[in-house]
């Protein structure tokens, strides 16, 4: 399932050096990568994440301060798979200056990646939506830090082992609550196609108005086709995303209402960005807990009181 780490990217620079006197300066792109990196690095490094809440990585253009941070960092970790499509030149510049630059999601084997129709050679980059896939990315981040800082590798391994226990329980929780949704209602309709891995991993049919990138525009035919699906299958709810405008979702609701079928907004989901810093939803586990719980409740399933956060021990997840 997972690729050899030696063949990940032209941008990956090996550094057989020991940690300098100062702690590692690490820059990450998405909040999901930043959160995992903090879990692993502990106090041996500082992590600066350049894309905050509500930021769309497909469209993000680095500002001058981002450029300075990236070119000055010891380590740059980004998703890859063309998620940060407008930052490729900057990553190349950093690699050319001897920085350690790694596209952490590209550890995943090509055979496991999803390729939407008509997108051959352009895999879906939203791999964090499948917790098992994100477990592989977590170990890739650990290995990257060990490569840069061999002296801290034992710490990174211990921290990773502890964090993986939480992720394994999170995967089981998401699977359990989604399974509680009646089979006929397991249809997830969102603004853009960011939930393909989520749907495959947890047995949901997923429909996005836009493609895997928010740069693509939805046409009237796309909207009308989804309206007809909502009406025909009596789907009760659609979902907005924190980092994507809701204009298309509103069009779906209005179109279904015009045909006599009431559809509600089931809630706001986190797709390409997490919640506010220093909140539960501002962590990867909290993001996935929020998404799974919101989807399950809106589509007629059952979520334990308090969600994953209050029911995260092995004995509490049946």
**What per-residue confidence (pLDDT) applies to 221?**
78
> Would you say 81 and 123 are in contact if contact means Cβ atoms under 8 Å apart?
yes
**What per-residue confidence (pLDDT) applies to 222?**
79
pLDDT of 15-34, one tens digit each? 333 444 468 999 999 999 99
**What per-residue confidence (pLDDT) applies to 71?**
97
pLDDT averaged over consecutive 10-residue blocks of the chain (318 residues)? 42 41 88 98 97 89 96 98 93 97 97 84 93 98 98 98 98 98 93 90 89 56 86 92 80 92 94 94 98 97 96 60
CA distances from 228 to 43, 47, 187, 252, 310 (A): 53, 46, 14, 9, 39
Ordered structural domains, the chain, with CATH: 5-173 (3.40.50.1980), 179-316 (3.40.50.1980)
Helix, strand and coil content of the chain, in percent to the nearest 5, comes to 50, 15, 35
**What per-residue confidence (pLDDT) applies to 219?**
64
């Amino acid at each position: 399932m997972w690729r050899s780490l030696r063949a990940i990217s032209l941008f990956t620079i090996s550094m057989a050096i020991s940690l300098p006197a100062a702690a590692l300066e690490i820059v990450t792109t998405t909040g999901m990568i930043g959160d995992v990196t903090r879990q692993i690095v502990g106090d041996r490094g500082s992590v600066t994440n350049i894309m905050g809440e509500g930021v769309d990585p497909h469209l993000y253009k680095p500002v001058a301060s981002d450029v300075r941070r990236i070119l000055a960092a010891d380590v740059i970790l980004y998703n890859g798979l063309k998620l940060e499509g407008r930052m490729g030149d900057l990553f190349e510049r950093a690699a050319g200056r001897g920085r350690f630059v790694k596209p952490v999601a590209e550890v995943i084997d090509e055979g496991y990646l999803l390729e939407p129709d008509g997108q051959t050679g352009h895999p879906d980059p939203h791999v964090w939506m499948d917790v098992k896939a994100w477990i592989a990315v977590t170990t890739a981040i650990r290995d990257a830090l060990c490569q840069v800082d061999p002296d801290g590798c034992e710490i990174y391994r211990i921290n990773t082992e502890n964090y993986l226990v939480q992720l394994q329980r999170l995967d089981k929780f998401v699977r359990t609550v989604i399974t509680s949704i009646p089979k006929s209602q397991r249809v997830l309709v969102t603004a853009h196609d960011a939930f393909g891995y989520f749907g495959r991993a947890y047995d949901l049919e997923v429909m996005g108005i836009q493609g895997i990138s928010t740069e693509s525009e939805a046409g009237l035919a796309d909207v009308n086709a989804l309206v007809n699906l909502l009406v025909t299958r009596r789907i009760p709810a659609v979902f907005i995303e924190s980092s994507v405008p809701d204009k298309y979702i509103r069009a779906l609701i209005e179109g279904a209402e015009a045909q006599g079928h009431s559809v509600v907004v089931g809630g706001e989901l986190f797709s390409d960005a997490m919640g506010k810093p220093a909140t539960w939803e501002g962590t990867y586990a909290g993001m996935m807990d929020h998404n799974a719980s919101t989807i399950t409740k809106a589509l007629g399933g059952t979520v334990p009181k308090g969600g994953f956060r209050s029911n995260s021990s092995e004995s509490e997840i049946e």
